[in-house]
Structure 1
Amino acid sequence: MAPEMTTLKGKPFSRAELDGLLRRTLFYTPSFEIYGGVAGFYDYGPPGCALNANIVDLWRKHFVIEENMLEVEGPMVTPHEILKTSGHVDRFCDWMVKDEANGDILRADHLVENVLEMRLKGDKEARGLVHVEKEEDPKKKKKKEKALANLEAKKLDDALVQEYEEVLAKIDNYDGAELGLLIEKYDIRNPATGNPVTPPTQFNLMFHIPNIGPSSSLYGFLRPETAQGQFLNFAKLLDYNNHRMPFASATIGKSFRNEISPRAGLLRVREFLMCEIEHFVDPEGGKKHARFHEVADVKLNLLDRDTQLSGKTEVSPMPIGEAVEKGIVDNETLGYFLARVQLFLIQLGCNPEKIRFRQHMATEMAHYATDCWDAELQTSYGWIECVGCADRSAYDLTVHMKRTGQPLQVRERLDEPRTVEYWAAETNKKEFGPKFRKDAPAVQGAIDALSDELREKLSVELKEAGKITLDVPNFGDGKVELTPDLITIEKRTRTENIRTYTPNVIEPSFGIGRILYALCEHVYWSREGDESRAVLSFPPSIAPMPVVLYPLSSHPDFKPLIARLSALLRKKRIHFAVDDSSASIGKRYSRRDQLGTPFHITADFESVQKNTFTLRERDSMEQVRATEQEIVDAVVNMVNGEETWEDVQARLPKFEGQAIEEGEEERKE
């Protein structure tokens, strides 16, 4: 269920107020609105663009630069053949249902989740209902009795409450058939109409492009992820990296998903910005990470799959080193990135108490993943997946190698020769060639791409059943049957001077729009005693507008001072604005607080006389006074993370002069 949210300062949270603020101040707005809009598309305004860019800039510094990643950029249009090979054409789907009366399309798991959550909310309200007093006016009493009777009807049996909670804890683990049974069992209908819905059917989430070029012979999709471009360039990236392993690539770019029922603003959209990392690692040796010791003590709130399958959602706070040691998190490289993701989210300004890592259950995982953990942020919509960390094993490189015949592998020269046992799969050329003719290379590629472990299993199957079946993309129905006259699989030994292997991949994937919105909820609050004075407490490094300059009035003596400050800030590449409106200084401060501006520099008459300026900090509203250069240096240092406000307060004189906040001005008036 969605949590009861409070703001940073403990006041009741209002999603409607925050959403109104973000849209009013043009952080984001519905796309194509003057034409009626299209669900799932949003435009960013000036503060939204700046915040988005600053989040990406911090991401690039935190990951790409810190980890020496190889950044690549590919096209958003992807040919069909690539996404067919990767499995997205057949498996990148959600389950949908249709309102039997009016044809509304709903996502099946969201429908079940929303209806059960509404019923649990109604039960909670019913259990807290207030009794009717005898002395009340008869008309009021009758009205109240009717309202209480409606509430009473929402009460649920204790066993049913527990059942609902267990279903919600496992909601991501149900397939289409299971969702259909839940819909039937609990009589779940379209909440908007009360109409029954059809059984769930699959819907592919990719946007189809019917033709690439005028001939229409080539078609494709808008990419659902940025990862495939990194896999296709693996051999080139390995060569660029002088064949050193492990290494990571990264891509920042737009992806597209044709969501069944977009909802919740920026949390579920059809076009969104992703930042994705593909960390290529040697599968031998347990996927160790050379820098794991640096994060081993970072404590994460973990919700593993066993806890979810038991119908519970309690997290287990645990250092990542302990989680890897106990096997809760599979390996060091996956654990390393989970810890680094949390450090990134906290650096953005997310509340550490509202971050958890939830492990995917078996049926929930993407077709390419062997293990996956989501970094989820708590919002008024509930826990929202913002970062997915998947162990994709060698899936992608293997299927693309099988389809194209390109060697997407690592060749490692050994210091000393070694004797290894392996399972050889050899074809009988006399029978194999005539049998498959032009398709022989594709079938041979599928055989060559078989892992040693799978070859061992197939050898048993070939001996016992007299045949084996292999997946071969784009060959008939995608299946090929091989008999002993076509193939031999046996255990052998060989001496190796060069080891050849297909790397495994750990993939952290970030949804920037979701992170941006969840962050806004985490940093939103209002001044005590004046709920209308909203504040967004973005850290200085990512605030859309780090500093604003204020002349105290329109007096001409202030203009050259503001011009000099502007020149200094431009030289330091600090984004700033000048607010010389006729509003009082307190109201101007308040206006910028709701845009998240952390620092305010004011020029007053003492500035004219002594060349000193006040510097106000957003959250505390405290001020210091110093020279022009000292103030600019302090702002630059704080925006660049080299100083904190406490550091600045310790070395610059505190100011308690004439500058008055908006609330004080109103009281004086």
Structure 2
Amino acid sequence: MASSMTTKDGKPFERASLESLMRRRLFYTPAFDIYGGVSGLYDYGPPGCALVNNVVDTWRKHFVLKENMLEVDCTMLTPYEVLKTSGHVDKFADWMCKDPKTGEIFRADHLVEEVLEARLKGDKEARGQKAEPEVEDPKKKKKKVKNITAVKLDDSVVQEYEETLAKIDNYDGAELGLLIKKYDIKNPATGTELEPPVAFNLMFQTSIGPSSNLPGYLRPETAQGQFLNFAKLLEFNQQSMPFASASIGKSFRNEISPRAGLLRVREFLMAEIEHFVDPEGGKKHPRFDEVKDIELELLDREVQLAGKTSVKTTKIGEAVQTGLVDNETLGYFLARIQLFLLRIGVDPKKIRFRQHMANEMAHYATDCWDAELLTSYGWIECVGCADRSAYDLTVHMKKTGTPLVVREPRKEPLKVEEYQCDIAKKAFGPKYKKDGKAVEAAIEALSQELREKLSLELEKEGKITIDVPGVGDGKVEVPKDLLTIEKRTRVENVREYTPNVIEPSFGIGRIMYALCEHSYWTRENDEARGILSFPPTVAPTKVLIVPLSGNQDFKPFIREVSDKLAEIGISSRVDDSGASIGKRYARNDELGTPLGITIDFQSVKDSSFTLRDRDTTKQVRANLDEICKAIANLVDGREKWADVASRLPAFEGQEVD
């Protein structure tokens, strides 16, 4: 269920104010706006582009650089056969139901969720309880339930609704259909009964080439390109395991009912990692000890299936040791995901990791945890971390015959005792003619257990009978003169295996929006002055350069400061408008600019400048070299403002509204 939100200073969060600011200051805007727009498509403006790029840059440093990952950039157009093999053509779908009279489409699980939450709200009102502030959920249909009636429900019904909502993601289409009937859920706007839920594939279909004879899709994830290049990446990595590839790029999903701005869109930026690991030995990670004591807020599947949403603060080392998190590599990345989110400025009190329930997991996953961030829309999945086992490499290898495997010398030769089958091929062909290949394949497919049993039967009876589907009645007799089954010792000097994959997958747009909500607040006694407290590392612009006035004496200093900041790779912008310094700073507080340099008449005299902190509005004064050193340290995270303020002289004055 959705939750209420407060800003970092404890005030009620006003989403309308933030979204107004973000559109007004061009963080993002509806795409094709002058043509009326298209639902689920948005353009980023200059500050939005800069914020996304800085988040991505931090992501690269935190993961790609730190973990020595191999970054690739694969095509967004994907042939039909690739996604058919991967399972996306058949299984990448959501459940939708249709109003037969109006043709209106609803996503089934979100409709159930919306109606039950509305009834629970009506129950609270009937009991005279204070309901939480109404918030939308980005999953839900655009039209809300109207005319909520204050009706008191039986306590057992309230409990049943809450339990259903806690495990809403675990229901399949048939179960959702039963819930819709059981709870008499209809079109909230018209009261019409809906058709049973049907699967809707979320991929955008297209064709490749002028003749349109090669069907394809816009990719729903960046992962498949990484899997198809596995053998080449392994060779590039000098056959060394484990290793990880990474990819950043656009993906596409044809959402049934996109809404809630950047949280549910049809085109979005993903950053995905595919960490290839040896499945033998429990998927250990060599650096797990570095993160084992990091505490995460975990919401496991058993709690959800019990109809609850309570989290447990757990050290990741303990979670792996007890089996709550399946293996060290999965646990390592959960901890590293949290460290990344904190590094870019996400509120530590608004992060949790929720485990997928069985019916909810993607077709390729054996275990999956979502890093969810609390927003005014409720808990939103922003990062998924899945154990994809060997699914993808196995299905693509089977389809294409390409050996997507690792071959490595064994430290010690391995002696394997096994029953081997020898076929007398010269006589075998004439005996079975056109069915020869099928019979031979059936013999090769015999298990070791069955070979042992048949070897005794062959010795005793002089013949055996095996199952060969499609040949005669499905049973074929093989005499002793055509087949020998003996127990032998084979020596293996090379080990061959298909790697497993741990996949952290980041929705950059969702992370960016959640970060904006977590960073937004207003000045005390001035609700109109909105502030985005982005950390300097990811802030769109790092420094605002503010000349005290339009005096010509300031111009050389503006250029000097701008050039110096550019030399050390710090983004800045100049505001030399006629507005007061206070108003100029307030405008840039809305853009999240963390630092400001004021050029005044003292600067002309002694080349000293003031440096302002966005959040505290405190200022220090020093020469340009000291100022630039402080800025570089703040941007790189080596210092906080308190450190700078403790070593540079404070400056009072200057800023007035």
TM above 0.5, yes or no, is yes
Alpha-carbon deviation of 1:172?
Answer: 0.6
Q: Cα gap change, 1:71/1:119 in structure 2, threshold over 3 Å: closer, same or farther? A: same
> Residues 316-465 of structure 1 correspond to what in structure 2 (within 5 A)?
316-420=312-416, 430=429, 434-435=434-435
Distance in 2, matches of 1:99 and 1:458, equals 56
Aligned to 1:138: none
Aligned to 1:188: 185
Alpha-carbon deviation of 1:419?
Answer: 2.0
Aligned to 1:137: none
Alpha-carbon deviation of 1:125?
Answer: 3.1
In 1, are the aligned partners of 2:122 and 2:149 still within 8 Å (CA)? no
Aligned to 1:572: 568
Structure 1: segments with no counterpart, 5+ residues: 131-149, 471-480, 663-669
Q: Cα gap change, 1:423/1:311 in structure 2, threshold over 3 Å: closer, same or farther? A: farther
* 1:22-69 per-position Cα deviation (integer Å, ceiling 9, x unaligned): 111111111111111111110000000000000100000000000000
* 1:588-638 per-position Cα deviation (integer Å, ceiling 9, x unaligned): 111111111100111112112221111110111111011122112211221
In 1, are the aligned partners of 2:373 and 2:381 still within 8 Å (CA)? yes
Distance in 1, matches of 2:222 and 2:245, equals 11
Q: Which runs of 4+ in 1 moved over 4 A?
A: 421-433, 455-463, 465-470, 481-493
Distance in 2, matches of 1:312 and 1:301, equals 15
* Matching of residue 267 in structure 1 with residue 263 in structure 2: yes
> Residues 540-555 of structure 1 correspond to what in structure 2 (within 5 A)?
540-555=536-551
Distance in 2, matches of 1:108 and 1:99, equals 12
Distance in 2, matches of 1:586 and 1:235, equals 59
Distance in 2, matches of 1:490 and 1:403, equals 32
Which letter maps to 1:340? R
Aligned to 2:176: 179
* Matching of residue 31 in structure 1 with residue 31 in structure 2: yes
Distance in 2, matches of 1:494 and 1:225, equals 43
In 1, are the aligned partners of 2:419 and 2:452 still within 8 Å (CA)? no
Q: Cα gap change, 1:212/1:151 in structure 2, threshold over 3 Å: closer, same or farther? A: closer
Distance in 2, matches of 1:65 and 1:488, equals 56
In 1, are the aligned partners of 2:466 and 2:477 still within 8 Å (CA)? no
Q: Cα gap change, 1:151/1:377 in structure 2, threshold over 3 Å: closer, same or farther? A: closer
TM-score by length of structure 1 reads 0.88
Q: Cα gap change, 1:591/1:652 in structure 2, threshold over 3 Å: closer, same or farther? A: same
> Residues 587-602 of structure 1 correspond to what in structure 2 (within 5 A)?
587-602=583-598
* Matching of residue 207 in structure 1 with residue 204 in structure 2: yes
* 1:510-540 per-position Cα deviation (integer Å, ceiling 9, x unaligned): 1101111111111111111111111111000
Q: Which moved more, 1:343-352 or 1:117-126?
A: 117-126
Aligned to 2:52: 52
Which letter maps to 1:70? L
Alpha-carbon deviation of 1:639?
Answer: 1.0
Aligned to 2:120: 120
Distance in 2, matches of 1:65 and 1:396, equals 25
Aligned residue among 146, 149, 153 for 2:150: 153
* Matching of residue 607 in structure 1 with residue 607 in structure 2: no
* Matching of residue 226 in structure 1 with residue 214 in structure 2: no
TM-score by length of structure 2 reads 0.89
Alpha-carbon deviation of 1:491?
Answer: 9.2
Distance in 2, matches of 1:303 and 1:484, equals 54
In 2, are the aligned partners of 1:461 and 1:467 still within 8 Å (CA)? no
Aligned to 1:284: 280
The number of equivalent residue pairs is 621
Q: Which moved more, 1:636-645 or 1:541-550?
A: 636-645
Q: Which moved more, 1:638-647 or 1:13-22?
A: 638-647
Distance in 1, matches of 2:179 and 2:205, equals 32
Q: Cα gap change, 1:198/1:59 in structure 2, threshold over 3 Å: closer, same or farther? A: same
- Give the superposed CA RMSD: 3.0
Aligned to 2:87: 87
Which letter maps to 1:116? L
Aligned to 2:74: 74
Distance in 2, matches of 1:310 and 1:574, equals 51
Which letter maps to 2:603? S
Q: Cα gap change, 1:458/1:409 in structure 2, threshold over 3 Å: closer, same or farther? A: farther
> Residues 507-656 of structure 1 correspond to what in structure 2 (within 5 A)?
507-656=503-652
* 1:359-410 per-position Cα deviation (integer Å, ceiling 9, x unaligned): 1111111111111111111111111111111111111111111011111111
Alpha-carbon deviation of 1:494?
Answer: 3.0
Alpha-carbon deviation of 1:572?
Answer: 1.3
Residue identity over aligned pairs, in percent, reads 67
* 1:434-456 per-position Cα deviation (integer Å, ceiling 9, x unaligned): 4598xx8xx97x999x9x9xx67
Which letter maps to 1:101? K
In 2, are the aligned partners of 1:126 and 1:151 still within 8 Å (CA)? no
Structure 2: segments with no counterpart, 5+ residues: 131-146, 458-464
In 2, are the aligned partners of 1:461 and 1:468 still within 8 Å (CA)? no
Alpha-carbon deviation of 1:560?
Answer: 1.3
